[in-house]
Structure 1
Amino acid sequence: MPNATPLTVSLESAMPVFYLHGLLSAPENLLAKALSISVDDLKATYPDRATLVHSTLLADIERQKREHAALYAQYPSAVERLYGLLQLGLRDLHTIPSTFYGDLQAAFPQAWEAVLEHLNTYSAPQLQQLLNDGIRNKLFRSDININLVTKILMEQLNMLLNPSVFPPERYNMAEVFRSIFLYYIRGICTDAGARIAAEHFARI
């Protein structure tokens, strides 16, 4: 089998095709076009759909990590970083069709396991570390339950994107975001953290 390394960097370009056409039904010619390769090269490197989906998902996870590194370089405080991570997560989740993760779980178990591993070994620890950093720097209250707050933040993000809770035709999602996260995170902030939170929201 040809070496897959040359395609790895650009594999994330296939993700919008999967979002638009579905994991199972996305045409090979459109996937190849998105990756700027021939259909024959696509088939040679990824002979089955499961391998392509899994590899594309891993490439997209790496894209997220690069964005997080850029975010951390831009914002020094745990409060701003936390808001920024939530905004990036919201932006990504807005692009994902409601059926995507169900199809992933049902038809591509290896890729689904990669999602769960990413959440358990990267996303949750990342939030927990931010909360720890914020407590250490006296930006978050020292009496918060870090594991519980992490779970609440993840569930709030899911609630925000549930159209039965906040129909997008009735609600401005940017305002919903502000109303959910500005007040909740400000509630776990110290006075110093709350000032940073207010300054951050004034800029977005």
Structure 2
Amino acid sequence: MPDSTLSTSSLEAAISVFYRYGLRDASDAALAKALNTTEPDLAAQFPSRELLVHHAVLADMERQKREHVALYAQYSSAVERLYGLLQLGLRDLAAVPGQYYGDLQTDFPLTWDAVMEHLNSYSAPQLQQLLNDGIRSRLFRSDINIQLVTKILIEQLNVMLNPQVFPPDRYNMREVFRSIFLYYIRGICTDEGARIAAEHFARL
């Protein structure tokens, strides 16, 4: 039976519809079907497309946070957690069509601001905390520039997904991931951290 009031978790399903059809072009019918509701109920709860996009994006951010909690429960070392976060980030970024962020920035500025705030107040500090944890546990070198390394890691994800740099028909993206992150992160590791990194990649 369709839900008359959509929960935060159920709103996540709207993201894949927006990816497929576009933020403006996705029909109310397709969105209502994905969200297991009716078009009138959808319009009643979200009278504008801006409001629906905003809440769907916020719901997707909460989904990411839940996945990170599960990841941290699975891995205890800062090295493995860092690799895991990068893999989740890469998976999510790979699903985003090329025009999505441009459309979000142009047509939905309040939601774009929320995405930037999430990056600055959650994602970057999360990476910085992991690097700090790794230094304290002597898995990462104590002389690394944490803010600079955080920026480099984020930009490396973007480079991986640039089809002009790594055309997917020419490169195995799993191997690209290994080649970029295995060697880079090993370079900021101590001997013990490098050992854990090698063991983790051997399981991928």
Instruction: Please state how far the C-alpha of 1:77 moved relative to its aligned partner.
Output: 0.3
Matches within 5 A, 1:49-68: 49-68=49-68
Q: Distance in 1 between matches of 2:189 and 2:196?
A: 9
Paired residues for 1:121-132 under 5 Å: 121-132=121-132
Deviation of the 1:5 alpha carbon:
6.1
| Alpha-carbon separation, structure 2, partners of 1:54 and 1:110 | 8
Which residue is equivalent to 2:167? 167
Q: Is 1:116 equivalent to 2:116 in the alignment?
A: yes
1:145-199 C-alpha deviation (Å, 9 max, x unpaired): 0000000000101000000000000000000000000000000000000000000
CA RMSD of aligned residues (A): 0.9
Counterpart secondary structure, 2:58: helix
1:82-122 CA-partner distances (Å, limit 9, x unpaired): 00000000001111001000000000011100100000000
Asked whether the 8 Å contact 1:82–1:127 carries over to 2, the reply is: yes
Match of 1:194? 194
The residue type equivalent to 2:81 in the other structure is R
Aligned to 1:78: 78
The answer to whether the 8 A contact 1:131-1:140 is kept is: yes
The Cα of 1:7 is off from its aligned counterpart by: 2.8
Equivalent AA in structure 2 for residue 52 of structure 1? L
- Alignment correspondent of 1:152: 152
- 1:95 aligns to what? 95
CA contact (8 A) 1:186 1:197 kept: yes
Q: Distance in 2 between matches of 1:179 and 1:135?
A: 23
Give the drift of 1:30.
Answer: 0.5
In structure 2, runs of 5+ residues without a counterpart are none
**Contact 1:7–1:35 at 8 Å: present in 2 too?**
no
Aligned residues with identical type, % of pairs: 72
What one-letter code is carried by the residue in structure 1 that aligns with 2:19?
Y
TM (normalized to structure 2)? Answer: 0.97
Length-normalised TM-score, structure 1: 0.97
List runs of 5+ in structure 1 lacking aligned partners: none
Note the C-alpha offset of 1:8: 2.0
The residue number in structure 2 matching 1:11 is: 11
Q: Structure 1 residue 9: deviation in Å?
A: 2.0
Equivalent-residue separation in structure 2 for 1:75 and 1:8 (angstroms): 27
Paired amino acid for 2:52: L
Runs of 4 or more above 4 Å deviation: none
Q: Deviations over 1:112-148 (max 9, x none)?
A: 0010000000000000000000000000000000000
- Is the Cα–Cα contact under 8 Å of residues 9 and 59 in structure 1 kept in the other structure? yes
Aligned to 1:104: 104
- Residue 55 of structure 1, CA deviation: 0.2
The Cα of 1:39 is off from its aligned counterpart by: 0.4
